[in-house]
């Protein structure tokens, strides 16, 4: 592929609800432009876009794939985005580096949850957007109903640029309202431009009038001509449409059927003539390396200093780690040196690559606005900046939503357990929305992500990459234990096994402390009944005993321990003996102090459509939650509550089910509080069963 100037580049993200036909449309464009010799189909698992083994197995997009094509002297970087919300990291980074969002809409379903998600992301990045109503050859498909659903959902003026000819099984072509011609397309021949059928003339004339009105609103001069009933030329209409489109005054709507390769020619013409080139948009927010508060204004200009943003990382079996980037300023060349200011390290650029699916092609230079990849950078990952060494600058990383779905990782063997961390590190390099941590309190490795499908894919990839046998299991709750009243007692540790024995006697008092207090230890032994040299051993024993509590094996907190007396033996007493005595004394005395279990309570902010508010509040109450208040957020409402963590492990799926995927939530730790008596009894019973199983 040749090198392109910034003005010749178009970056278009294909987004929308899952199964709307985004990948099918991308594959149809590839075949239409002779990149592939036949139309590759998602249901056959052989597409150029969905080449990842997990995508082939699931027959759905998981990754954002870059598919560059050439048309009418332009390079169009098509970014095929996943539709499923679990892969929000891929979706959001793809939207961020695009210059236009192409919303693919199912002709039967119209605007759906995934359409709304992409619309919100386009708002966040101020992207112009165009809709393509797909699958009009399906039963019950309706272009007019799909357009109405877009109007109703987004409250925007929708202006068709094409109209369908025929409906459902008889759908055979589209009318191009700019050319005022019927476009006949076949998979093997060039598009034919024919006269509009007589029965569609009135509809086409009315639709073209609406299109011209939308174009006239894009420029004051054109508005004046339009109001004076002066005709607009074709070039004026295109210019006006582009200006109005960039300012998001209306939503252009095209239509077609990807599997029949209908509607592609007008779509490509629109991308080339109306979609903004990179230099017609603003660059990403950036700042000086040593001062995040000092912004740097970048111009998307190939003559400026190099500044590129790494938006995606892929572990390639042959090329190693591939870093995908968009150049925002200057140009980048093969065999050059660039600076990664975030890592404070220079990187050697070997071969620059144009990547189409899994196929790679060398290119010498990429100019501002273009998207490419480079292999085997040593210290560069997703969200890093690459820039000129003498003009350092940092882009603001993509803000990703918090991980809300957690599972425990159970390895089948000790050897596999040790490999999990390394395998996860490789995955996190590719997907920053994943995280893994070892929780010593619950003695469990926890993997966090965006949903059950997200983690299922991650585990499948781990098994494939590292041959690790692991399963996901429910996470344990990090309960705490404490005492509610004072108590005292003693424990004598005495053991004689021949030769030197073990002897230690500890008298101890336990007292409850206010919530959140650090552990306190007080030594009140007098008269040398326990030599002072054994004081550290007694304290260590108490601390160790508190790690496992006295009720259900959970960490004990908010306790003061006072050792006030004891006995020792000149020969048989030792540090170990006093440590054991302290452990056993704590366990026995704690049982007398009315021990209770505390559970973690989380602050919850749930964002849902207003119509779901009542159901969500009722559900939270059923989860033992306390509603703290609500606030409006556009057409949605934010419900604030406090809910026990134990009730939240399935909330990601439950919320999606209750809101048809429109709900989102964030949760942060608040405090610990006492669990109800009936739940405490269950926790203690389960802990006893688990202990039995571990000792068998």
In whole angstroms, what is the distance from residue 40 CA to residue 45 CA? 8
The domain 405-476: what is its CATH number? 3.30.70.870
- The residue to which tokens 């030599």 are assigned: 531
Region of 77 on the Ramachandran plot (φ > 0 left; ψ -120 to 50 alpha; else beta): beta
pLDDT at 90 over 70: yes
In whole angstroms, what is the distance from residue 516 CA to residue 520 CA? 12
In whole angstroms, what is the distance from residue 6 CA to residue 667 CA? 43
Contact status, residue 18 vs residue 114, Cβ threshold 8 Å? yes
Q: Where are the domains of the chain?
A: 6-171+250-280, 286-395, 405-476, 481-594, 597-678
Contact status, residue 417 vs residue 468, Cβ threshold 8 Å? no
pLDDT at 352 over 70: yes
* pLDDT > 90: percent of the chain: 81
The domain 597-678: what is its CATH number? 3.30.70.240
In whole angstroms, what is the distance from residue 90 CA to residue 61 CA? 10
- The residue to which tokens 């993509």 are assigned: 398
What per-residue confidence (pLDDT) applies to 696?
A: 61
Q: Which runs of consecutive H residues, i.e. helices, occur in 351-451?
A: 414-430
pLDDT digits (tens, 9 = 90+) for 387-432: 999 999 999 999 999 999 999 998 877 777 777 877 888 888 889 9
Question: Which CATH number applies to 286-395: 2.40.30.10, 1.10.150.120, 3.40.50.10800, 3.40.50.1980?
Answer: 2.40.30.10
pLDDT at 144 over 70: yes
Question: Which CATH number applies to 481-594: 3.40.309.10, 3.30.1480.10, 3.40.50.150, 3.30.230.10?
Answer: 3.30.230.10
* Fold: same for 405-476 and 481-594: no
Computed on alpha carbons and rounded to an integer, the radius of gyration of the chain in Å comes to 32
Contact status, residue 276 vs residue 164, Cβ threshold 8 Å? no
Tokens of 358: 């899994």
What per-residue confidence (pLDDT) applies to 56?
A: 87
In whole angstroms, what is the distance from residue 589 CA to residue 483 CA? 10
pLDDT at 327 over 80: yes
In whole angstroms, what is the distance from residue 162 CA to residue 208 CA? 9
**pTM score > 0.85 for this model?**
yes
pLDDT at 498 over 70: no
The domain 6-171+250-280: what is its CATH number? 3.40.50.300
């Amino acid at each position: 592929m040749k090198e392109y100037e910034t003005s010749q580049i178009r970056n278009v993200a294909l987004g929308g609800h899952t199964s709307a036909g985004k990948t099918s449309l991308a594959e149809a464009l590839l075949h239409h432009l002779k990149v592939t010799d036949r139309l590759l189909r998602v249901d056959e698992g052989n597409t150029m876009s969905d080449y990842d083994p997990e995508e082939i197995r699931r027959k759905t997009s998981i990754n954002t794939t870059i598919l560059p094509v050439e048309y009418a002297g332009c390079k169009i970087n098509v970014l095929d985005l996943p539709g499923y919300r679990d892969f929000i990291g891929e979706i959001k980074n793809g939207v961020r580096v695009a210059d236009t969002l192409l919303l693919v809409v199912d002709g039967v379903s119209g605007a759906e949850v995934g359409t709304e998600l992409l619309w919100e992301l386009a708002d966040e990045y101020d992207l112009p957007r165009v809709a393509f109503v797909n699958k009009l050859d399906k039963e019950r498909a309706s272009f007019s109903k799909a357009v109405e659903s877009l109007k109703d959902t987004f409250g925007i003026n929708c202006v068709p640029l094409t109209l369908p000819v025929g409906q459902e099984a008889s759908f055979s072509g589209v009318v191009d309202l700019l050319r005022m011609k019927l476009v006949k397309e076949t998979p093997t021949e060039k598009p034919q431009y024919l006269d509009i059928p007589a029965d569609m003339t009135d509809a086409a004339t009315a639709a073209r009038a609406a299109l011209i009105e939308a174009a006239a609103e894009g420029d004051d001069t054109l508005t004046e001509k339009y109001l004076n009933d002066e005709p607009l030329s074709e070039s004026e209409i295109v210019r006006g449409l582009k200006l109005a489109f960039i300012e998001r005054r209306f939503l252009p709507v095209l239509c077609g059927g990807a599997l029949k390769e209908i509607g592609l020619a007008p779509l490509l013409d629109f991308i080339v003539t109306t979609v903004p080139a990179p230099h017609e948009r603003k660059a990403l927010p950036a700042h000086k390396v040593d001062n995040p508060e000092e912004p740097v204004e970048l111009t998307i200009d190939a003559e400026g200093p190099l500044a590129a943003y790494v938006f995606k990382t892929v572990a390639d079996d042959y090329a190693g780690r591939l870093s995908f980037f968009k150049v925002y300023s200057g140009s980048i060349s093969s065999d050059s040196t660039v600076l990664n200011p975030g890592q404070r390290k220079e990187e050697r650029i070997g071969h620059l690559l144009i990547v189409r699916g899994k196929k790679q092609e060398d290119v010498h230079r990429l100019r501002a606005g273009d998207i490419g990849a480079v292999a085997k950078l040593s210290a560069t990952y997703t969200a890093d900046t690459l820039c000129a060494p003498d003009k350092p600058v940092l882009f603001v990383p993509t803000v990703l939503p918090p991980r809300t779905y957690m599972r425990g990782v159970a390895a089948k063997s000790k050897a596999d357990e040790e490999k999990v961390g390394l395998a996860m590190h490789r995955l996190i390099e590719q997907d920053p929305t994943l995280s893994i941590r070892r929780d010593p309190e619950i003695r469990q490795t926890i993997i966090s992500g965006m949903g059950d499908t997200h983690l299922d894919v991650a585990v499948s990839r781990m098994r494939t990459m590292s041959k690790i046998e692991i399963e996901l299991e429910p996470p344990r709750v990090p309960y705490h234990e404490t005492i509610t009243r004072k108590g005292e007692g003693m424990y004598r540790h005495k053991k004689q096994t021949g030769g030197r024995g073990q002897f230690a006697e500890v008298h101890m008092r336990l007292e409850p402390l206010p919530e959140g207090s650090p552990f306190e230890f007080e030594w009140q032994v007098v008269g040398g009944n326990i030599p002072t040299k054994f004081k550290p051993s007694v304290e260590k024993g108490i601390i160790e005993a508190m790690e496992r509590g006295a009720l259900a094996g959970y960490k004990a907190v908010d306790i003061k321990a006072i050792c006030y007396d004891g006995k020792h033996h000149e020969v048989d007493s030792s540090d170990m003996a006093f440590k054991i005595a302290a452990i056993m004394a704590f366990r026995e005395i704690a049982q007398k102090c009315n021990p209770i279990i505390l559970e973690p309570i989380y602050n919850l902010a749930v964002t849902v459509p207003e119509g779901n508010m009542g159901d969500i509040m009722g559900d939270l109450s059923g989860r033992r939650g306390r509603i703290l208040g609500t606030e409006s957020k556009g057409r949605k409402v934010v419900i604030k509550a406090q809910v026990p963590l134990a009730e939240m492990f399935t909330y990601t799926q439950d919320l999606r089910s209750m809101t048809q995927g429109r709900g989102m939530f964030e949760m942060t730790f608040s405090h610990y509080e006492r669990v109800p008596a009936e739940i405490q009894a269950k926790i203690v019973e389960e802990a006893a069963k688990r202990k039995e199983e571990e000792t068998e």
